[in-house]
Amino acid sequence: MSTHLVATNPPPGTATDVLAAEGGTLSSIENWVNEVFTPISDGLSNFVFAELTIGGISFPWIVAWLVIAAAVFTIYFGFVQFRKFKLATELVRGQYTSKDEPGEINHFQALASALSGTVGLGNIAGVGVAVTIGGPGATLWMVVAGLLAMCTKFVECTLGVRYRETHEDGTVSGGPMHYLRKGLAERFGNKFGIILGRVLAVLAAVMLLFFAFAGGNMFQANQTFAQVKDVTGGDEGFLGSDGAAFIFGVLLAIVVGAVIIGGIKSIGAVTSRLVPAMGIIYVTACLIVILVNFTEVPAAFGQILAGAFTGEGVAGGAIGALIVGFQRALFSNEAGIGSAPIAHSAVKTKNPATEGYVALLEPFIDTVIVCTMTALTVVIANTPFWNDARADVAAGGETPDGVTVTSNAFETVLPWFPYILTIAVVLFALSTLITWGYYGQKAWTFLFGKNRTSERVYQVIFCLFTIAGCVLTLGSVLNFADAVLFLLALFNIIGLYLLVPIVKREVADFAAKLKSGEVKKQDKTKV
Q: What is the tens place of the pLDDT at every residue in 175-188? A: 999 999 999 999 99
* pLDDT at residue 295 in the model: 86
- Between CA 496 and CA 336 the distance in angstroms is 9
- For residue 322, the cross-strand partners are none
The angle, 0 to 180 degrees and rounded to 10, between the axes of the packed helices 372-381 and 263-292 is 20
Look at strands 57-60 and 51-54 and give their pairing.
antiparallel
Assign residue 315 a region (left: φ > 0; alpha: ψ between -120 and 50; beta: otherwise). beta
* pLDDT at residue 12 in the model: 37
DSSP 145: H
* pLDDT at residue 317 in the model: 58
Q: Is 28 exposed, middle or buried (0-12, 13-18, 19+ CB in 10 A)?
A: exposed
DSSP 347: B
Q: Is 106 exposed, middle or buried (0-12, 13-18, 19+ CB in 10 A)?
A: buried
Q: Under a CB-based contact definition with an 8 Å cutoff, are residues 390 and 313 in contact?
A: yes
* pLDDT at residue 467 in the model: 87
Taking the CA atoms of 159, 202, 493 and 94 in sequence, report the sign of the dihedral they define: positive
User: Where do runs of H (alpha helix) occur along 77-137?
Assistant: 80-83, 85-92, 107-118, 125-133
Q: What is the pTM of this model?
A: 0.84
Q: How far is CA 409 from CA 228, 377, 384, in A?
A: 21, 7, 10
- For residue 173, the cross-strand partners are 165
* pLDDT at residue 1 in the model: 42
* pLDDT at residue 198 in the model: 93
* pLDDT at residue 36 in the model: 73
* pLDDT at residue 461 in the model: 93
3-state secondary structure of 52: strand
Type of residue found at 85: F
Q: Under a CB-based contact definition with an 8 Å cutoff, are residues 252 and 224 in contact?
A: yes
- Between CA 388 and CA 132 the distance in angstroms is 10
Q: For each of the chain's 527 residues, which pLDDT tens digit applies?
A: 443 333 333 333 333 344 444 446 666 766 776 777 778 878 888 888 888 877 666 778 888 898 899 999 999 999 999 999 999 999 998 888 877 788 888 888 888 888 877 776 667 767 887 888 888 888 888 889 899 999 999 999 999 999 999 888 778 889 999 999 999 999 998 899 999 999 999 999 999 998 888 888 888 888 788 778 877 777 777 777 767 888 888 998 998 888 888 777 778 778 778 778 877 888 888 888 888 888 888 888 888 888 887 755 445 556 667 777 777 777 778 888 898 999 899 899 899 999 999 999 999 998 888 888 888 888 888 888 888 888 887 777 777 767 778 878 888 888 887 777 777 777 877 888 888 998 999 999 999 988 889 999 999 999 998 888 887 766 667 677 778 888 888 999 999 999 999 999 999 999 999 888 888 877 654 44
Assign residue 102 a region (left: φ > 0; alpha: ψ between -120 and 50; beta: otherwise). beta
- Between CA 122 and CA 473 the distance in angstroms is 19
* pLDDT at residue 166 in the model: 86
Q: How many CB atoms lie within 10 A of CB 26?
A: 16
CA atoms in the 13 A half-sphere facing the CB of 278: 30
3-state secondary structure of 165: strand
- Between CA 493 and CA 339 the distance in angstroms is 12
Q: How many CB atoms lie within 10 A of CB 388?
A: 12
Q: How far is CA 413 from CA 128, 140, 284, 387, in A?
A: 17, 25, 13, 18
- Between CA 281 and CA 277 the distance in angstroms is 6
DSSP 79: S
3-state secondary structure 358-389: HHCHHHHHHHHHHHHHHHHHHHHHCCHHHHHH
**Closest of 87, 110, 164, 161 to residue 514, by C-alpha:** 87
* pLDDT at residue 460 in the model: 93
3-state secondary structure 181-224: HHHHHHHHCCHHHHHHHHHHHHHHHHHHHHHHHHHHHHHHHHHH
